Structure 1
Amino acid sequence: MTEPIQNEEYISAITDTALPNNWSVTRNDRFTVFIPGDGVVGDTVRAHVVKRKKGFAYGEIIEIIEPSPFRTDPPCPHFGICGGCIFQNLQYEKQLEIKKNYLMHSIKSIGGVDISHISMEPAVSSPDMYGYRNKMEFSFGENQGQLVLGMRERSSPFKRFSMQVFPIEQCLIFSERTSIIVSIIMKFLTERNYAAYNVFKRTGFLRNLLVREGKNTGDLMVALVTCAGDIPDIEQVYRSLKDAIPALRSFYWIINEKPANAVIIDDVKALYGDEYIEEELNGLRFRVYPETFFQPNSRGAELLYSAIAEWANVTPDSNVLGLYCGAGAIELSIARSVKSVLGIDSHPVNIETAHRNCEVNGITNCTFLAGRVEDVLKTVDTKDYQYIILDPPRGGLTPKAVRYICRYKVPQILYVSCNPSTLSRDLNLLYAEQYRIQRIKPFDLFPHTGHLETLVLLAKEEI
């Protein structure tokens, strides 16, 4: 426990969770105190202030005086250490309520948008509470001189993020196959004395293990991410995995020479099996490669894409722009209802995959272009398109992108967001261009985490 500030002990109910972090919101007699950790909304706690800031403070729980009625037992043995899930100890209905309130607060406080006259639609629950993720990136590290494979620890305002990796045997939000994969990979690597890469010292070899799984097809991809070097008998680990999991369809070796703590691909080697796995969404088949952007919750994505098709006010004569299209899942989902679709994405691999996905599904009215949205839209005639669908990364839209998008003066825009903060900022910019919210619906594609997907329908207001 961190050393408390003298005479700063207090008793408070936890009234909220400050997303996207796992910080419980309490209050002493002077200011709001955020408490990192596993407190739950509705807990009454004895706590102390540890670190003061201007206008607020950070604290720690000394004891839970009265547990919340919303508390539940977390099923994962790694909960509380892992930086992934923050809500496994909270009833799911309360998770949805907190996320929805966070979305509404962000739109009002960051976006400056009055939504009091807009009825936010009920949040769509994930079809699966656990085992929903189709992609995981595990990290290699060292613990007391021993190689470990797992997840990085939670960040804390009390200490510098050390990027410490703690070992895992399973990941409940990913796949039941996790324990088999981890066991085989670790046996192979520890027997050969490979060392984990150290971000601070820039030494070592092993970096990450990337695993992708088709939730509706069962296909499995495993990719070992290392620095440049050699693994003479790597086929052996592939054979062991294939024997244990016959659905293993693709095995890669990825080289990452960048110093950053992220899966950055410098060189891709498709060693065994196919170069891709396949996933099926709403009757369409999609090829997925190591670099492909694809919604991490396959069955939740089916609900989201069905809602997009329902909300989009398009006709067989409509020409649609799909911006930040990834591998084209949204574009292919509406292609048979419109005349044409143009998808734009900055990553050439996504564009190449989108073209292949069109071929696989026999879709001929989609075109895809690689490049930054801000650059490509300079060359696209504004008169040619009547509808725009946006699905940007977590950073949202740039002001320049908003200006180019608004030049088209389309009657309606559909915005798919994975970040309430940047969505709210962008709504402020779109409101300045006379676009107004017509419908808004949260989709919980990330149960037990602080993340939320949101679908917003905006219409151009006539002046």
Structure 2
Amino acid sequence: MKQPVPVSKNEEVVVDIEGLTHDGEGVGRAKGFTLFVRDALPGERVRAKVLKVKKTYGYAKRLELLAASPDRVDAPCPIFRQCGGCQLQHMAYDAQLRWKRQHVIDSLERIGKLRVAGSGSGAAGGGADGVTDSSAGAKGSERSKGLETGEKAITGGNGVALAGAEAGATPTEAVSPAGAASSAGAASPAGAASPETSAPGMSPSGAAAAAAGIVVHPTIGMNEPWRYRNKAQVPIGMAMADLKDGAAGSLIGGFYAQGSHRIIDMDECLIQHERNDEVVRQVKAIGRRLGVSAYDENTGRGLLRHVMVRTGYVTGEVMVVLVTNGDRIPRVDEWVAGIREAVPAVKSIVQNVNKRNTNVIFGDVTRVLWGSDVIYDELDGIRFAISARSFYQVNPEQTVVLYRKAVEYAGLTGTETVIDAYCGIGTISLFLARQAGRVYGVEVVPEAIEDARRNAELNGIRNVEFAVGLSEEVMPRWREQGVEPDVIVVDPPRKGCDEALLQTILAMRPKRVVYVSCNPSTLARDLRVLEDGGYRTVEVQPVDMFPHTVHVEAVILLVRK
């Protein structure tokens, strides 16, 4: 007989929070019923109002914090609870790192059905507290991707599934405890060999290592987890009369309120590089002075849709991109002159035209209004030319950590043949080429391959070859031409690897596969396919590319059995 739901809409209940969803909501129980509550951390007790009830779970709004977690901190951003850009500023940074590691572990176990070393009840070996600070000397992946999930699971603080959640129907991929303790080892600085793996893929090895399970290392965090983003993409709108700092009709720009397309006007974002904030402020002020209209997605009218700013962390060069709802920019010369005067470091002012009724930021037409079509920046001594639409990691400091780890896991001695299956503008390819015999990069976006070739030439790196196309189509052609990879590296978007590519990897049988992931769920799904096809997942290194958000990247080493 069907059991009645024990809570009702608008009822006030006490909820004990036991975990976090993949998007940072607290999850807990009231009267044995699962509720999702924003701004609630594991270990907290809250009084909440039930907003929505489904058959096996519901949503509630926190009214009162009855018992706070020791991991709760005051969010420094004044609009943290309105803006959807960050989700975890109210959680201590070390707790964020532990949670991200546990999120990876949960995905591996519940979606990939993989065994994690030391994980009896959600904990895993590899570090004393699941946290490693990055000490790399250089300063995420910005992937616009719909979330593709595998099996969905809800877990509590002890790693045990919460009763009453409807599998496949909840908004969670995995709900992880914030601070599950690790069972062994100690945190080590970024780039140092861990106790378990002094040589990647060599120790632990064989049947004993397979039985012990996958080593998930402590998350590598940042020493200073603020002001790390080198790119700002700011939606533009018109202020309403009741906004504090804007008269009705004036130009505003900031970020969308969580779960909506309502723009929160802001002049400062604590995860953006200070220069990006300053440039956005200046561009908005110039637009107001010139009477520029903002795009209205409801009517399709208005000119300015987005302002994008890129900053070279090493070079200091700035690119400004004006995304417009039309080809013509009134008073364009005054726009350009105003930006050049206000932003002395600007090297490129670009217009992108997007007339479509879409949430996608960029259109197909990009033209230079002034200066160069690229700016330059460096990662670990490698120089990159970055155009308006180039994919380039937004956290340079952690990108170096991530890519160094990928090269380490590749185990290169100078003679190997490596394929980079999602090469983009050649960032990982050029890191690999410094230690490999030859590197082949493939990418479906023609403009990215043009950038990759330019970047190889810019750095005098000649042992690389780039091709345009789908990896699963180009790689077999290379094989027919005699290319036999020792290592294949993949760095897919959030949706993970195409099934055809996974089958191509299995057919080519490299000694090692290095997987760079930005989505633990699709990572776990893909690892299951590779494991079933004859590979063993040896170790996983989570890297915090996006502090104070729920996103986590990871580098994974697989070896052929």
TM-score where L is the length of structure 2: 0.77
1:171 paired residue number: 269
| Percent identity between the two aligned chains | 34
Question: For 1:274 and 1:281, how far apart are their aligned partners in 2?
Answer: 21
Give the deviation of 1:94 after TM superposition.
Answer: 0.5
Pick aligned residue for 2:532 from 432, 449, 460: 432
Question: For 1:180 and 1:136, how far apart are their aligned partners in 2?
Answer: 11
- 1:179-190 paired onto structure 2 within 5 Å: 179-190=277-288
Give the deviation of 1:5 after TM superposition.
Answer: 3.5
Tell me the amino acid that sits aligned with residue 29 of structure 2. Answer: R
Q: Mark the CA change 1:7 to 1:453 in structure 2 (over 3 Å): closer, same or farther.
A: closer
Pick aligned residue for 2:257 from 123, 131, 153: 153
1:11 paired residue number: 14
1:379 paired residue number: 477
Give the deviation of 1:447 after TM superposition.
Answer: 0.0
Work out whether 1:32 is the aligned partner of 2:60: no
Question: For 1:375 and 1:302, how far apart are their aligned partners in 2?
Answer: 30
Q: Deviations over 1:207-247 (max 9, x none)?
A: 11111111122111110001114223223233333333322
Q: Mark the CA change 1:243 to 1:202 in structure 2 (over 3 Å): closer, same or farther.
A: closer
Question: For 1:136 and 1:190, how far apart are their aligned partners in 2?
Answer: 19
Q: Deviations over 1:322-369 (max 9, x none)?
A: 011111111101212111111011111111111111111110011111
Question: For 2:217 and 2:20, how far apart are their aligned partners in 1?
Answer: 22
2:510 paired residue number: 410
Q: Mark the CA change 1:6 to 1:287 in structure 2 (over 3 Å): closer, same or farther.
A: closer
Tell me the amino acid that sits aligned with residue 262 of structure 1. Answer: V
Question: For 1:7 and 1:378, how far apart are their aligned partners in 2?
Answer: 59
Q: Deviations over 1:83-138 (max 9, x none)?
A: 11011111000001111111111111112222242221111113541111111211
Question: For 1:414 and 1:141, how far apart are their aligned partners in 2?
Answer: 42
Task: Check conservation: 2:424, 2:449, Cα contact below 8 A.
Answer: yes
Q: Which moved more, 1:238-247 or 1:54-63?
A: 238-247
2:303 paired residue number: 205
Q: Deviations over 1:240-290 (max 9, x none)?
A: 333333221111111012221121232111111221111111111111111
1:138 paired residue number: 234
Task: Check conservation: 1:205, 1:229, Cα contact below 8 A.
Answer: no
Q: Mark the CA change 1:143 to 1:42 in structure 2 (over 3 Å): closer, same or farther.
A: farther
Question: For 2:65 and 2:386, how far apart are their aligned partners in 1?
Answer: 46
Question: For 2:494 and 2:279, how far apart are their aligned partners in 1?
Answer: 30
Task: Check conservation: 2:12, 2:49, Cα contact below 8 A.
Answer: yes
Tell me the amino acid that sits aligned with residue 299 of structure 2. Answer: K
2:493 paired residue number: 393
For the residue of structure 1 that corresponds to 2:40, the secondary structure is coil
1:158 paired residue number: none
Displacement over 4 Å in runs of 4+:
none
Task: Check conservation: 1:5, 1:48, Cα contact below 8 A.
Answer: no
Task: Check conservation: 2:443, 2:469, Cα contact below 8 A.
Answer: yes
- Could you list the runs of 5+ residues in structure 1 that have no partner in the other structure? 156-160
Q: Which moved more, 1:173-182 or 1:294-303?
A: 173-182
Task: Check conservation: 2:27, 2:36, Cα contact below 8 A.
Answer: yes
Question: For 1:275 and 1:406, how far apart are their aligned partners in 2?
Answer: 40
TM-score where L is the length of structure 1: 0.93
Question: For 1:189 and 1:245, how far apart are their aligned partners in 2?
Answer: 14
Task: Check conservation: 2:10, 2:51, Cα contact below 8 A.
Answer: no
Pick aligned residue for 2:555 from 442, 455, 461: 455
1:218 paired residue number: 316
CA RMSD of the aligned region, Å?
1.7
Tell me the amino acid that sits aligned with residue 237 of structure 1. Answer: W
For the residue of structure 2 that corresponds to 1:184, the secondary structure is helix
- Could you list the runs of 5+ residues in structure 2 that have no partner in the other structure? 1-6, 118-212, 241-247
Task: Check conservation: 1:184, 1:237, Cα contact below 8 A.
Answer: no
2:220 paired residue number: 124
Pick aligned residue for 1:443 from 516, 535, 543: 543
2:25 paired residue number: 23
For the residue of structure 2 that corresponds to 1:86, the secondary structure is coil
Task: Check conservation: 1:169, 1:178, Cα contact below 8 A.
Answer: no
1:72 paired residue number: 73
Q: Deviations over 1:362-409 (max 9, x none)?
A: 100111111121222232216522210001111111111111121101
For the residue of structure 2 that corresponds to 1:264, the secondary structure is coil
Task: Check conservation: 1:127, 1:299, Cα contact below 8 A.
Answer: no
Work out whether 1:341 is the aligned partner of 2:342: no
Task: Check conservation: 2:33, 2:56, Cα contact below 8 A.
Answer: yes
1:81 paired residue number: 82
Task: Check conservation: 1:396, 1:422, Cα contact below 8 A.
Answer: yes
Work out whether 1:264 is the aligned partner of 2:368: no
Q: Which moved more, 1:344-353 or 1:71-80?
A: 71-80
1:274 paired residue number: 372
Task: Check conservation: 2:280, 2:309, Cα contact below 8 A.
Answer: no
Tell me the amino acid that sits aligned with residue 378 of structure 2. Answer: E
Tell me the amino acid that sits aligned with residue 21 of structure 2. Answer: A
Give the deviation of 1:431 after TM superposition.
Answer: 1.5
Give the deviation of 1:64 after TM superposition.
Answer: 0.8
Work out whether 1:59 is the aligned partner of 2:60: yes
Q: Which moved more, 1:380-389 or 1:280-289?
A: 380-389
Work out whether 1:286 is the aligned partner of 2:387: no
Q: Mark the CA change 1:263 to 1:339 in structure 2 (over 3 Å): closer, same or farther.
A: same
Task: Check conservation: 1:228, 1:256, Cα contact below 8 A.
Answer: yes
Q: Deviations over 1:61-83 (max 9, x none)?
A: 11111222212121212211111
Question: For 1:167 and 1:7, how far apart are their aligned partners in 2?
Answer: 31
Work out whether 1:113 is the aligned partner of 2:213: no
Question: For 1:268 and 1:7, how far apart are their aligned partners in 2?
Answer: 50
Q: Which moved more, 1:447-456 or 1:287-296?
A: 287-296
For the residue of structure 2 that corresponds to 1:375, the secondary structure is helix
Q: Mark the CA change 1:16 to 1:45 in structure 2 (over 3 Å): closer, same or farther.
A: same
For the residue of structure 1 that corresponds to 2:221, the secondary structure is coil
Tell me the amino acid that sits aligned with residue 52 of structure 2. Answer: K
Task: Check conservation: 2:314, 2:378, Cα contact below 8 A.
Answer: yes
Task: Check conservation: 1:322, 1:388, Cα contact below 8 A.
Answer: yes
1:308 paired residue number: 406
Aligned residues: 450
Task: Check conservation: 1:257, 1:266, Cα contact below 8 A.
Answer: no
Q: Deviations over 1:285-328 (max 9, x none)?
A: 11111111111110111111111222212232211100111111
